[in-house]
Amino acid sequence: MRQQSGPVLAGAAVAALASVALFAAPASAHTPQRTGSAPVASARGVVFVQNDDVKGNTVVVYDRAADGSLTKAGGYATGGLGGQEEGTGPDHLASQGSLAYDKAHRRLYAVNAGSDTLTVFAVRGDRLVREQTVSTGGSFPVSVAVHGGSVYVLNALDGGSVQGYANVAGHLVRVPSWHRSLGIQGGGTPGQVSFTPDGSKLVVAGKANNSLMVFRVDPLGAIAAKPVATTLASGGVPFALAFDAAGRAVVADAAANSLDTFTVGRDGSLTKVDEAATGQKATCWVVRDGDFFFTGNAGSSTISGFEQSHGRLKEIGNTPAGAGTVDLAASSDGRFLYAQTGTAGGVDEFRVHADGSLTKVGSVTVPDAVGGEGIAAS
């Protein structure tokens, strides 16, 4: 039975309370058992990895050493279940952004696709404290996005939907009026939800309907009733996206195996300004690292690198990675890249050089993570 839990807030109440939204830990915060603790004194940051286990979803935390190598610090149950979309291989969620780290407020958000819930953790160094597990208002959540005091989750099944939440006095509260159905036909699923860097728009990568859907966001966090949709030419499949420093959307097209760059208009319309082929298979994931963009190519088990200048992408090259390269995360200092390997159930560690080339540092095996997706780094 799918768990449906968490407080609900009416739209009028959001307007009254949004100005007092804080990120203080609520009194009901739950501290789950930490497993496999092995803190590293010289840790320079942390990497969070979701295993998406259908028997019980877990976030595994790794300390990052000065050389980029990872050491397991602990594992934390989300209180929900992982899931597997029918027909998937090394990517059980077929998505990007199922784990989101809000550095400003020290919160980590994890979707539980098998129980239709979202878990909120407080981040305390390399330790997590589970604060809430709330309903996503839909079926099979696969991606989550955060901006300021607003959080939106993407539900993949039943035509797809997005559900918004307000952070009110340290509690994440589901707002029914911030729910939008996507109307995707034929049983297909969307791939990611993401805010633009300025938070003025919410973008859904609708890989199943070949379009990018852009909702305008008002100052309180509510989204427009309907999105502005841009359909990719020649049957393009927008699986996932990232944004550059100027707010342009850089989109992984899984059909063309390319990165496509779009400017985002004030009205939500998108204009394509560049396209760069990876020459690889199943180019579905993308992450930004400064002026560099990297893609995860599951069908080739490689990572493709590109350098961007004024919206134009220049190929750096392809780097071999573990079997089934999927979700990616870059360290906040830009020095390291981490790649989930869905077939292998691990994470590969890479040093990012000044020219954007990669050198493998090592790899770790994540417990019960074959097919898992969801990675974030500090």
Query: What's the one-letter identity of residue 102?
Result: D
pLDDT in tens, 80-120: 999 999 888 899 999 999 999 999 999 999 999 999 999 99
What pLDDT is stored for residue 87 in this prediction?
Answer: 83
Spatial distance between the Cα atoms of 319 and 278, rounded to a whole number of angstroms: 11
**Secondary structure (DSSP) of 276-300:** EE--SS-EEEEEEETTEEEEEETTT
Distance CA 347, CA 341 (A): 6
Q: Is residue 1 part of a domain?
A: no
* Any domain includes 4: no
Confidence of residue 35 (pLDDT cuts 50, 70, 90): very low
Asked whether the CA dihedral 3, 6, 7, 11 is positive or negative, the reply is negative
pLDDT above 60 (res 22): no
Answer yes or no: is 301 within a domain: yes
Q: Which has more pLDDT, 21 or 238?
A: 238
59: in domain = yes
Q: Is residue 225 part of a domain?
A: yes
Amino acid 7: pLDDT: 57
Q: Is the dihedral of CA 65, 71, 76, 77 positive or negative?
A: positive
Return the half-sphere exposure (C-beta side, CA atoms, 13 A cut-off) of residue 123: 25
Q: Which domain holds residue 73?
A: 11-377
Q: Predicted confidence band at 9 (pLDDT cuts at 50, 70, 90)?
A: low
Does the pTM of the predicted model rise above 0.85?
Answer: yes
The pLDDT assigned to 151 comes to 99
For 182-186, 289-293, 301-305, which range has the lowest pLDDT when averaged over its residues? 182-186
Closest by CA to 261, choosing from 58, 270, 352, is 270
Cα separation, 82 vs 115, whole angstroms: 7
Q: How many domains does the chain have?
A: 1
Establish if 3 belongs to a structural domain: no
What is the secondary structure of 216-245 as a DSSP string? EB-TTSPBPSS-EEEEPGGG--EEEEEE-T
Tell whether the model's pLDDT for residue 318 goes beyond 90: yes
> Which residues lie below 8 Å from residue 127, measured CB to CB, with a gap of 6+?
34, 61, 73, 74
CA dist 164 and 174 (Å) reads 6
**What is the overall mean pLDDT for the chain?**
91
Neighbours of 228 (CB within 10 A): 18
User: What span, in angstroms and rounded, lies between the C-alpha atoms of 149 and 23?
Assistant: 8
Is residue 58 predicted with pLDDT exceeding 80?
yes
Chain-centroid distance, C-alpha 40: 26
Q: Would residue 26 count as lying in a domain? A: yes
Q: How confident is the model at residue 15 (pLDDT cuts 50, 70, 90)?
A: very low
Tell me the mean pLDDT in the region 215-240.
Answer: 96
* 258 lies in some domain: yes
Per-residue pLDDT band for 8 (boundaries 50, 70, 90) equals low
Q: Which amino acid is at 118?
A: L
Q: In which band, very low, low, confident or very high, does the pLDDT at 70 lie, cut at 50, 70 and 90?
A: very high
Residue 38 has pLDDT above 70, yes or no: no
State both tokens at 203: 């973008």
Q: How far apart are CA 63 and CA 13, in angstroms?
A: 40
Work out the percent of the chain whose per-residue pLDDT is above 70.
89
Q: In CATH, what number is assigned to the domain containing residue 50?
A: 2.130.10.10
- Per-residue tokens: 230: 């841009």
pLDDT band at 43 (very low <50, low <70, confident <90, very high): low
